[in-house]
Amino acid sequence: MPYEKATIAEAESALPDDARAKMFRMKDPLDTDEVAFTLFTMEPNAEGMEHDHRDDGQEEVYYVVEGGVDVELGGETVSLDEREAVRVDAGETRQIRNRDHYSELVLVGAPR
C-alpha cells in the first residue's frame, strides 16, 4: 500500500503515567522509515526531557498547535506561541518547558 493511516489511539504515550505530559510517537503506527512524527501534550508548567540527537543525526521541528512553550537551546530560550515553529540542529541540546497553561505540539524529526 502506498500510504499508512493511523490515529493517536494507536500509539501509547512514551512517558510514565505520573509525567505531566504525554508523548504519542507515531513512527510505528505509520510505519515510517526516516521521519519521526510525535504529538506532545503538556500540562501547565510541565517540562520535557533535556536531550540532543548527536548520535543519530536527527534534526527536529517543533510546531505549537495550542498554547505556547519555551524551548531551551543551549544557553538561549526561544519562545513559541500557537502556529509557530522552530527547527533544531541534531547536535543542539534542547528542552521544552511549558508555560502556565495546556499546550499541544507536533514534533517532527528526520536525519539531515
pLDDT per residue as tens, the chain (112 positions): 789 999 999 998 888 888 999 999 999 999 999 999 999 999 999 999 999 999 999 999 999 999 999 999 988 999 999 999 999 999 999 999 999 999 999 999 998 7
For the entire predicted model, the pTM comes to 0.92
CA distance 24 to 27: 9
Q: Is the dihedral of CA 29, 65, 34, 54 positive or negative?
A: negative
3-state secondary structure 43-110: CCCCECCCECCCCCCEEEEEEEEECEEEEEECCEEEEEECCCEEEECCCCCEEEEECCCCEEEEEEEE
CA distance 47 to 112: 26
What pLDDT shows up at residue 65?
Answer: 98
Asked if 20 contacts 43 with a C-beta cutoff of 8 angstroms, the reply is yes
pLDDT at 14: 86
pLDDT at 43: 97
Q: If we measure between CA atoms, which residue out of 41, 37, 31 comes closest to residue 5? A: 31
CA distance 24 to 57: 21
